């Protein structure tokens, strides 16, 4: 199919370029947030994340060390040091000592300080201040530099978010809560649905066709309808809002897809194996546990991934059935919503929080993509 109608080479190039463009278009929003999560608040506020990937020229206001660090050498008072933080590797092109004239000196030049003495700044940001009189005051002198800085990233945001109590604390707890919701809500529906799927695929009984049709119908029922009736029901039977309720809700909402996927897969298993086992005297329970379950692993894995992604990423069900007024059981999606409200402009917090919550599904996605695709193909109603 590759060499359609002769004009192969130009067309192939066009395809390569358009696919590359599409991939970049699709990746760039995520990539931008990802890069932002490794930048400090100041960096994010000063320029776009795309500028952080290249060495950038910036005007900075820096300060020399305070006069109290001065030492006396041969009758001269000297302050020596480095204007940049450790390892900044910036290169100064011009500098100055007045905010009205920030580019009057070249690296290596010496400038007269207004309060007496002089200062020499080198290209790498090291400086030397000399004066015959002691330097006074509590703060160092300001130095205005125009410097080219290499890209600089930090893990600070992640450390701050996960291991410290502070502005955005709670993400660590929300992470654990999300896990607590997700794992039972993934495993239990699989078991329940697998038995039902086996019955619908391999057992003869009246009403089977209607049940299968009902499952297909329930696949598309919006869970929005379930919110109030079930919240009412949970409150009446005394579960209230909490983990038990959210596990039950996820089990119920995941059930149609689980049964549908598993039944389709199981119905496609070879009839001989199952009938041979029956002839050999195996009970349905034995056939199910020893034959069907192991053989259905791909379908089980497909559904497990769906359910995991869906419960991990869910906001609505958790909001309605889990999170109460105390906020102790908040999940990550809800936590991010709250951060959006309180730290709407603090992109270092938002970006980091978003990536903490995205990391696990992404890992699952890339590790088990084969099963996800297989499940999608089986799950879209044909």
Partner 1 sequence: MNPALLGLVTIVLGVVGCVGYFYLSNLVLDTVIFPARGPHAGRNINWANMVRPWLFLLPAIVALGLYLAYPVVETLRLSLTERVPGGGYTWVGLANYEQMLKEPKFWEAMRNNIMWLIVVPALSTAFGLLTAQLTDRIRWGNLAKSLIFMPMAISFVGAAVIWKLVYDTRPVEQDQIGMLNALYIFFGGTEPQTWLTIPIWNNFFLMAVLIWIQTGFAMVILSAALRGIPEETIEAAIVDGAGPLQIFFKIKVPQIRTTILVVWTTITITVLKVFDIVFAMTNGQWETQVLANYMFDKLFRANDWGLGSAAAMVIMLLVTPILIWNVRNARKEMR
Q: Is the dihedral of CA 50, 53, 54, 60 positive or negative?
A: positive
Cβ of residue 239: shortest distance to partner 1, in angstroms? 13
Distance CA 314, CA 178 (A): 10
Task: Report the run of H or E that residue 79 belongs to, with start and end.
Answer: strand 76-82
Distance CA 293, CA 189 (A): 14
Cβ of residue 303: shortest distance to partner 1, in angstroms? 13
Cβ of residue 4: shortest distance to partner 1, in angstroms? 5
Complex with partner 1: residue 88 or 223, whichever CB lies closer: 223
What's the half-sphere exposure (Cβ side, CA atoms, 13 Å) at 255?
A: 18
Complex with partner 1: residue 163 or 285, whichever CB lies closer: 285
* CA neighbor of 240 nearest in space, from 333, 323, 332, 334: 323
Cβ of residue 180: shortest distance to partner 1, in angstroms? 4
Distance CA 293, CA 299 (A): 10
Cβ of residue 184: shortest distance to partner 1, in angstroms? 5
C-beta of residue 364 within 8 angstroms of C-beta of residue 291: no
Long-range contacts from 234-240, C-beta under 8 angstroms, 24+ separation: 234/321, 240/324
Complex with partner 1: residue 20 or 273, whichever CB lies closer: 20
Complex with partner 1: residue 164 or 370, whichever CB lies closer: 370
| Residue 113: both structure tokens together | 């300080």
Complex with partner 1: residue 141 or 352, whichever CB lies closer: 352
Q: Is the dihedral of CA 317, 322, 324, 328 positive or negative?
A: negative
Cβ of residue 93: shortest distance to partner 1, in angstroms? 19
| Residue 81: both structure tokens together | 């040091």
C-beta of residue 142 within 8 angstroms of C-beta of residue 97: yes
Complex with partner 1: residue 155 or 363, whichever CB lies closer: 363
Cβ of residue 200: shortest distance to partner 1, in angstroms? 7
Our measurement of the distance from residue 103's CA atom to the centroid of its chain's CA atoms, rounded to an integer in Å, reads 42
Complex with partner 1: residue 160 or 314, whichever CB lies closer: 314
């Amino acid at each position: 199919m590759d060499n359609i109608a002769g004009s192969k080479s130009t067309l192939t190039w066009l395809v390569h370029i358009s696919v590359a463009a599409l991939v970049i278009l699709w990746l760039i929003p995520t990539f931008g947030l990802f890069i932002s999560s490794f930048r400090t608040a100041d960096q994010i506020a000063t320029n776009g994340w795309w500028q952080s990937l290249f060495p950038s020229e910036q005007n900075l206001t820096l300060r020399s060390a305070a006069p109290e660090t001065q030492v006396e050498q041969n009758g001269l008072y000297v302050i020596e040091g480095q204007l940049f933080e450790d390892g900044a590797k910036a290169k100064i092109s011009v500098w100055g000592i007045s905010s009205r004239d920030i580019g009057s000196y070249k690296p290596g030049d010496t400038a007269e300080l207004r309060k007496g003495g002089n200062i020499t700044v080198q290209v790498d940001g090291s400086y030397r201040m000399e004066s015959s009189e002691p330097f006074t005051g509590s703060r160092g002198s300001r130095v205005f530099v125009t410097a080219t800085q290499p890209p600089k990233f930090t893990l600070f945001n992640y450390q701050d978010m996960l291991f410290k109590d502070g502005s955005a604390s709670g993400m660590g707890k929300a992470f654990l809560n999300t896990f607590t919701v997700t794992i039972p809500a993934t495993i239990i529906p699989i078991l329940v649905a697998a038995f039902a799927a086996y019955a619908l695929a391999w057992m003869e009984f009246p009403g089977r066709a209607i049940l299968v049709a009902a499952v297909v119908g329930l696949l598309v029922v919006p869970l929005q309808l379930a919110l109030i009736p079930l919240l009412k029901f949970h409150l009446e039977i005394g579960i209230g809002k909490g983990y038990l309720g959210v596990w039950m809700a996820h089990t119920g909402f995941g059930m149609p897809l689980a049964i549908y996927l598993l039944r389709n897969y199981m119905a496609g298993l070879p009839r001989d194996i199952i009938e041979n086992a029956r002839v050999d005297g195996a009970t349905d329970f034995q056939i199910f546990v020893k034959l069907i379950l192991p053989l259905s692993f791909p379908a089980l894995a497909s559904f497990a991934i769906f359910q995991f992604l869906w419960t991990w990423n869910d906001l609505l069900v958790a909001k309605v059935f889990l999170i109460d007024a105390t906020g102790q059981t908040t999940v990550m999606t809800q936590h991010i919503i709250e951060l959006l409200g309180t730290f709407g402009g603090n992109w270092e917090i938002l970006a980091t929080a978003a990536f903490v919550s995205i990391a696990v599904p992404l890992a699952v996605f890339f590790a088990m993509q084969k099963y996800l695709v297989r499940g999608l193909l089986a799950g879209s109603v044909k």
